[in-house]
A and B are shown apart, each in its own frame.
Chain A
Amino acid sequence: MSSSNHKDHATLAAAFNKDEPRVDWHDQTLWWVRQKRDKAAAQVADWEALRDSASKIKDNVLSNLSEYLTKFEEEASRNGVIVHWAADAKEHNDIVLSILRNHKVDKMVKSKSMLTEECHLNEFLAAHNVEVVDTDLGERVVQLAEEPPSHIVLPCIHWKKEEIGELFHKHLGTPAGNADPQFLTYAARLHLREKFLTRRVALTGVNFAVAETGEFVVCTNEGNADMGAHLADVHIACMGIEKLIPKRDHLGVFLRLLTRSATGQPITTYSSHFRKPRPGQEMHIVLVDNGRSTHLGRKDFRNSLKCIRCAACFNTCPVYRRSGGHSYHTAVAGPIGSILSPNLDMKKYSDLPFASTLCGSCSNVCPVKIDIHEQLYKWRQVIVQEGNSPAAKTATMKAMTWVLSNPGVYHTAGKTGRWFMLNVPFTVNNRLNPWYHQRDLPAPPKQSFGEWYKKNKQ
């Protein structure tokens, strides 16, 4: 367990598992999404070749990032877009606030942006008396519930429709007990329409920014980014610096992969290209580093910056499906979050690379072929080397190494039957063996294989 005062993944996951039927429901819902992904991917000839292309394009982007960024800034500026650079979350939040202040605006709409979650923009703006309304339906649900999203594509996947009915009854005045998805969606539409029509500033995320043209593409299923951006006087688009692709042609690779990987749809309902502000409109792009340059400098971990935020690794992860997004206590949960977050705060997120069995399913579904499970393994080494591992665990590991490196000690320890009973399967806490809590131990045999071999074969 991490020494900082938040609860770690194992503790939060254990709490999530107190309600087993709910865990089953969560697991089956996300497994269904994984199966939709499989079907969609199977319909594309050369799916694996497409992943390979995407991976190579992104490798090229990461190797030439500064040039693509400079080119993108040039082209976007030429298009009449105001480009900002933010070194960290604070600068990003300050830039957004200053744009709002310049326009004397204290209310805005925002479509889905995991970057603003990462930067805690909503909390920051609330503290400065700016009201933000999230217009993605799932984001709006968690916002009304005063929770962070639990999934980067399906923010309220941990909510049941009956619970959303109650939430809307409380906040939007829908009739008590009505949990009909179509009815609730319609209620949300009416509620959001008023916001779209009255807000002068709209913030959107960015899925892909094209270096050669200075344009950016925003993918949504609800059209909420478009509603916000087209009706507002000011459009602010916030993006991590890794969101670049070199050419518009490359969208033919990424748009085909993104939504098939994410939800099993052939493409998002809206894949909107924004290139220049319409007459009278102001358009801003905020390019955010927030640790990405540091990450780019970590040889073993840099290629996680290829991520296009499809969440296929979440949906396939047997641990994520059974522990829920909030157990990762970070903006981007799941396997990819477990390799991105330690870069932001190694101590705080030192538990996350251990929240995996290293089964490798994540790396196989990743549309840009990030070696996620191998990076989880490598983060474990870095976390231990940099002193972020509990002292008791280190002591156990050293004792185990001593036994296993010395055949004489190993045989004696094995024969007494005690060392293995206390330490297999590799317990890190001997006071209370967590193996036995819900599982039986194997019955110790009369003799080990080594002893049998000595008697019978030598």
Chain B
Amino acid sequence: MRVGLFVPCYVDQFYPQVGIATLELLTRLGCDVVYPPDQTCCGQPMANSGYEHLTGGCNALFIRNFAEFEYIVAPSGSCVLHIKDHIHDANIAGKIYELVEFLTDVLKVDNLDACFPYKVGLHQSCHGQRGLHLAQMSELMAPPFSKPQKLLDMVKDIQLIDLDRKDECCGFGGTFCVAEEAVSVKMGKDRVADHLHHGAEVITGSDMSCLMHLEGILRRQKSPVQVKHIAEILNSKITG
């Protein structure tokens, strides 16, 4: 199975270990993973700021880089949702998956050789959850499910903690994080507090942008709590 790996711009620049974990994990699960070197960004930062009309160049570049693959996988729900909603090219549509849904829905992973002996809080990023339906939404009167939790439950020695508000937004929101700095930070502090209150040692999720925001707050608070992308945990072999 030939998979084109899309590593979003900020992950490429700030969190290369997340790209590496994704690549290693997919390779271990039998995929032939290729990273097209000329990729940059999905165009979402411009589009969500009201400048979708400027994203033609980004879209064309994306199509050029990824049209040849059977599947396109990215470790970011937000970027994948943006591409699904805005790039309707026949060579892309229907082929792009966020990592978690690719593992559960395409590869149908039912066991993982992973071990992560820590107390972990799962942050449900909104675009992955409400946009890609990676997990049931607390607002809807519908049966619960959670694809990320299903995968995390396969990890040896992990302890998933409960949260008071299991799917409240962290306040990152793209340009919102700077344009509405006060509210963005307050939302992030409140999410962090919920995880800390329940004893999290690590906060994980499937969107590094949310985790970058929460990490920024944790570091400012001098907290020892770490953030890890779900790919890092699923690819982890740490033993207790």
Residues of A within 8 A of B (CB): 9-10, 13-14, 16-17, 20, 23, 27, 31, 38, 41-42, 44, 47-48, 316, 318-319, 322-323, 354-361, 363-365, 377, 380-381, 383-385, 389, 393-394, 397-398, 400-401, 403-407, 410, 414, 420, 424-429, 433-435, 437-442, 444-445, 447-454, 457-458
Question: How far does the alpha carbon of A419 sit from the alpha carbon of B29 in the complex, in Å?
Answer: 36
Q: Considering only CB atoms, which chain B residue lies closest to A317 in the complex? A: B169
Residues B11 and A449 in contact, CB atoms below 8 Å apart:
yes
Residues B183 and A398 in contact, CB atoms below 8 Å apart:
no
Question: How far does the alpha carbon of A13 sit from the alpha carbon of B187 in the complex, in Å?
Answer: 12
How many A-B contacts at CB < 8 Å in the complex?
A: 237
Question: How far does the alpha carbon of A180 sit from the alpha carbon of B222 in the complex, in Å?
Answer: 42
Residues A358 and B48 in contact, CB atoms below 8 Å apart:
yes
Residues B175 and A428 in contact, CB atoms below 8 Å apart:
yes
A457-B49 contact in complex given A359-B126, A439-B217, A445-B16, C-beta closer than 8 Å:
no
* Contact residues in A for B52 (Cβ distance below 8 Å): 381
Q: Interface with A: B135-143, B145-153, B155-163, B198-206, which one? A: B135-143
* Contact residues in A for B13 (Cβ distance below 8 Å): 414, 420, 424, 444, 448
Q: Does B107 contact A (CB under 8 A)?
A: no
Residues A435 and B177 in contact, CB atoms below 8 Å apart:
yes
Q: Considering only CB atoms, which chain A residue lies closest to B59 in the complex? A: A405
* Contact residues in A for B58 (Cβ distance below 8 Å): 401, 404-405
Select which of A44, A407, A435 is within 8 A of B216 by beta carbon: A435
Residues B54 and A14 in contact, CB atoms below 8 Å apart:
no
* Contact residues in A for B212 (Cβ distance below 8 Å): 425, 442
Q: Considering only CB atoms, which chain A residue lies closest to B191 in the complex? A: A318
Residues A434 and B178 in contact, CB atoms below 8 Å apart:
yes
Q: Considering only CB atoms, which chain A residue lies closest to B137 in the complex? A: A364
Q: Considering only CB atoms, which chain A residue lies closest to B49 in the complex? A: A397
* Contact residues in A for B169 (Cβ distance below 8 Å): 318, 357, 359, 361
Residues B185 and A447 in contact, CB atoms below 8 Å apart:
no
Known: A354-B50, A359-B130, A360-B126. 17 other contacts (CB 8 A): A17-B182, A47-B141, A322-B186, A354-B176, A357-B187, A361-B169, A380-B48, A384-B49, A401-B58, A424-B9, A425-B172, A439-B188, A439-B219, A440-B215, A442-B14, A451-B16, A454-B37
Q: Considering only CB atoms, which chain B residue lies closest to A364 in the complex? A: B139
